[in-house]
Structure 1
C-alpha cells in the first residue's frame, strides 16, 4: 500500500518531510551549518583579536590582579571558542570524500553548539572585565547577569521553545 504522507515517496532511503535522501539531507544541513558557523566565527575572531592586543597596552599594567586573571581566562576562553567554531571546517576537510557526511554533520553540529556555549562564557567574561575596568560600581555583576540572561534567552530559550512548540510529533 502506498504511503500518502507528504514528502514520503515509499522509496528506501527517503525521509518524511522533505523529499530527500539521507545524503541530500546531510548536504543541505552542512550548507546551513557552515552559514551559521560563519556568523559566529566572525564575532569570535573580532573579539579574540581585540583581546590579544590588550596585554600590549599601557593600561594592562594598571589592572588589578583580579582583572588580569579575568583577562587571562577570557583570552583562553576566546582561543578555545575559536577552536570549537573552526573545528567543523577542519572536520569537513579531513573527512571529505569518505562517505561519512551524515556523521560529519552531527559532529560539526555538536562542535558548533559547544562553540556557542563557549562564546557565551567568553562574552560574559569579556563584559565582566570591561565593566570592572570602566566602572567600579557594585551594579556590574547584576548588569553582566542581565546580559547573560539576554544571551540565554536569544541563543537557547527561544530556539528551544520554538523547537518544542513547532516540531511535529
Structure 2
C-alpha cells in the first residue's frame, strides 16, 4: 500500500482509522446514552407526582430547564447513531466520525449541565430549600475534573507526535520553554 495512505503510527489507512475510531466512539456513546436516558426518563415522571404542583415556582423552573437540557443531551448523544444510519455506505466515514465526535462532545457538555441542574433540584427539594450551592459546585467541579481536566491533561502530556514518535517536551513553569530532557 502507498506510504501516503498510512499516516498513523498504527499502520492503517484513513478508512481503517475511521472504522476503528467509529467503533470506539460508538462504545463511548453507549455508556453516555444509558446514563442520559435513565436520567431523562426519571425526569419525565416528576411532573406527574402529586407534590409537583406544590413546589415553589423557582424549583418548577429548574425542573423545566433540566428536562429541556436532558432532551437536548439525549438528542446529541443519539445523533451519532442516526448519522451513521443515514450516511452508511456513502463513503463518508471519516467526515461522519468527525461530526459524530463533535455531537458526542456537545452531548457530554449537555449531560453535565443536565446532571448539575437535576442535582440542584433534588437537593433543594430534599433539604427544603436549604443552601446547597456549595454541594452542587463541588460535584460540578468533580465532573469537570473527571470528564475534561484529566483527559485534557493526559492528552497534552502523553500525546505522541506522528512525525517524531516522541512525546511533547515537558516544560518547567517559568523556564522559558526549555526542554528538560535536553536542557535546551
TM-score normalised per structure 2? 0.85
Match of residue 43, structure 1, among 8, 11, 35: 35
2:64 aligned residue: 72
| CA root-mean-square deviation | 1.0
Deviations for 1:86-112, whole angstroms, at most 9, x for unmatched residues? 000000111111100000000000000
Give 3-state SS (helix, strand or coil) of 2:45's partner.
Answer: helix
Query: 1:25 and 2:17 equivalent?
Result: yes
Match of residue 130, structure 2, among 119, 124, 137: 137
Number of aligned pairs? 160
Aligned-pair CA distance for 1:15 = 1.3
Match of residue 164, structure 1, among 153, 156, 159: 156
1:96 aligned residue: 88
Aligned-pair CA distance for 1:67 = 0.2
- Consecutive unaligned residues of structure 2, counting only runs of 5 or more, are 162-184
Deviations for 1:135-168, whole angstroms, at most 9, x for unmatched residues? 0322x00000000000000000000000000002
- The runs of at least 4 consecutive aligned structure 1 residues that moved more than 3 Å come to none
- Consecutive unaligned residues of structure 1, counting only runs of 5 or more, are 1-8
Looking at structure 2, the residues matched to 10 and 158 of structure 1 have their Cα atoms a distance apart, in angstroms, of: 37
Greater percentage in helix: 1
